[in-house]
Amino acid sequence: MASNEDVNIDPAGEEVEVEDDDDLCPICRQLLHRPVVTECSHTLCELCMTEWADVSVTSQMTVVPLAERPEDFVAANIQAKCPMCRTMTSAKRSSEVEERVRRKYPGVYERREEEAVRDEAMKEVSVETLTVYIGNTVIPPGGEDERGLFDWEFFVKISDTSVVNEVEILLHETFKKPRLVRWKPPYAVRRLGWGTFIIRANVILKYGYSWISSDAEDTKYATKASLPLEWELCFDDGGSQARCQLKIKKESRLVRSSRRILESGSNSG
Ligand SMILES: [Zn+2]
Ligand SMILES: [Zn+2]
C-alpha cells in the first residue's frame, strides 16, 4: 500500500497516522495493542481479550490423574469463548502483528503503549491465573465392614491459596452438617457414605479480588468474588479429580486505601 494513503497532513502541518480498519481492534476500535490472535483467527488487543473473553468453568473442566497437583500444572492457554464469534478458543500473543502495526503507526502505537501503562497504574488492576482442582479420593468398604460404607474425602485444591478467603462446601442435605466452611487449606471434607451425590463448593476470594468468569457470583461484600463449583463423587478407582484454569483480577487500589486509613490513624494518635 502506498504510504501517502496512511499518512495525512493535519492543518498544523504535522503528519498524522491514519489507521486502516484492518489494524483496529474490533472491540475497542483503537490500534491493536499487544495483539493476540485466536484459534478462530480473530485479532484483538491482549487486554480486550482478557476482559471480554467468557471463561466458564464447565466448558473447560478436564478430568486428570488423581496424582496431579496444582504446582505440577503449568498454565497453558486458557480456553475461553471468543468475544467476536463466541466459539471456544485460545489466544496467543502475535509478535508478527505487533511488529507490523508498530512499524506502520509508530506514533499511534507509542501513544497506545503509554496509555496502557498509565491505565494499569491508575486502575491498579492486575490479572493472575489460578489452577483449580476439584475431586475426591475413596476407600471402598472393607470385608469386615457389614455396613458397606465408602470412606471418601472431597477436596478443592488451588494453585495460589493466598488469594482465597474461604471455601464453602455444601453436602447432600441428608448429612447432619451439610454446610461446612474451610478458612484455610486443605479445603476438604471426609465422610462415610453409601452413595454418590453432587457436592457444591464455593471458592470465595479475599477482599479486592474477583473472578474473571461468567460463572462467578456476588457475595454480600463483593462482586464476582465467589466461584461456584460442582463435583459428583466418584467411587471408582480410588477416586477422581478435574482441573480448570481461571483468571482473577486484583484491585490494589482497595489495599492501598485501607493502608492509608491505617497510616492516618497512627499519625493522629
Ligand atoms: Zn482492543
Ligand atoms: Zn473468534
What is the domain-level CATH number for residue 220?
2.60.40.1970
In a domain, 268, yes or no: no
Q: Of 42, 16, 28, 232, which is closest to residue 138 (Cα–Cα)? A: 232
- Residues with CB under 5 Å of ion ligand 2 are 40, 42, 82, 84-85
- Where is average pLDDT lowest: 41-45, 115-119, 122-126, 244-248? 122-126
Cell of 36: 493476540
Q: Is-contact 140 236, C-beta < 8 A?
A: no
- Looking at residue 51, its pLDDT comes to 75
Digit-coded pLDDT (tens) for 119-173 = 777 665 677 788 899 999 999 988 776 788 999 999 999 999 999 999 999 999 9
The answer on 55 and 8 residing in a single domain is: yes
Digit-coded pLDDT (tens) for 192-210 = 998 999 999 999 999 989 9
Q: Give strand pairing partners of 126.
A: 250
- Point out the ligand nearest to the CA of residue 88: 2
Longest dimension (CA), the chain: 93
Determine the distance separating the centroid of ligand 1 and the alpha carbon of 173, expressed in angstroms.
Answer: 47
- Point out the ligand nearest to the CA of residue 52: 1
Q: Of 83, 93, 90, 100, which is closest to residue 35 (Cα–Cα)? A: 93
- Looking at residue 4, its pLDDT comes to 46
- Given a cut of 60, whether residue 256 has pLDDT beyond it is no
Q: Of 155, 132, 128, 129, which is closest to residue 58 (Cα–Cα)? A: 132
In a domain, 13, yes or no: yes
- Looking at residue 197, its pLDDT comes to 96
Amino acid at 180: L
The answer on 149 and 107 residing in a single domain is: no
Cell of 20: 486502516
In a domain, 81, yes or no: yes
Digit-coded pLDDT (tens) for 74-132 = 555 567 788 889 888 888 889 999 999 999 999 999 999 998 888 777 665 677 788 89
The answer on 159 and 89 residing in a single domain is: no
The answer on 236 and 179 residing in a single domain is: yes
DSSP class of 146: T
In a domain, 175, yes or no: yes
Report the number of distinct structural domains present in the chain.
2
The answer on 140 and 232 residing in a single domain is: yes
Determine the distance separating the centroid of ligand 1 and the alpha carbon of 47, expressed in angstroms.
Answer: 7
Determine the distance separating the centroid of ligand 1 and the alpha carbon of 211, expressed in angstroms.
Answer: 21
Range of the domain at 93: 3-62+74-123
In a domain, 264, yes or no: no
- Point out the ligand nearest to the CA of residue 83: 2
The answer on 134 and 172 residing in a single domain is: yes
**Angle at Cα 225 formed by Cα 220 and Cα 227, nearest 5°?**
115
Task: Report the C-alpha gap between 32 and 112 in whole angstroms.
Answer: 9
Determine the distance separating the centroid of ligand 2 and the alpha carbon of 49, expressed in angstroms.
Answer: 10
Residue 188 phi/psi, 5° resolution?
Answer: -150, 160
Determine the distance separating the centroid of ligand 1 and the alpha carbon of 33, expressed in angstroms.
Answer: 7
In a domain, 172, yes or no: yes
- Given a cut of 90, whether residue 188 has pLDDT beyond it is yes
Determine the distance separating the centroid of ligand 1 and the alpha carbon of 73, expressed in angstroms.
Answer: 30
Name residue, grid cell 469463548: 81
Determine the distance separating the centroid of ligand 1 and the alpha carbon of 180, expressed in angstroms.
Answer: 42
In a domain, 147, yes or no: yes
The answer on 231 and 160 residing in a single domain is: yes
Helix, strand, coil percentages for the chain (3-state, nearest 5): 25, 40, 35
The answer on 180 and 164 residing in a single domain is: yes
What is the domain-level CATH number for residue 22?
3.30.40.10
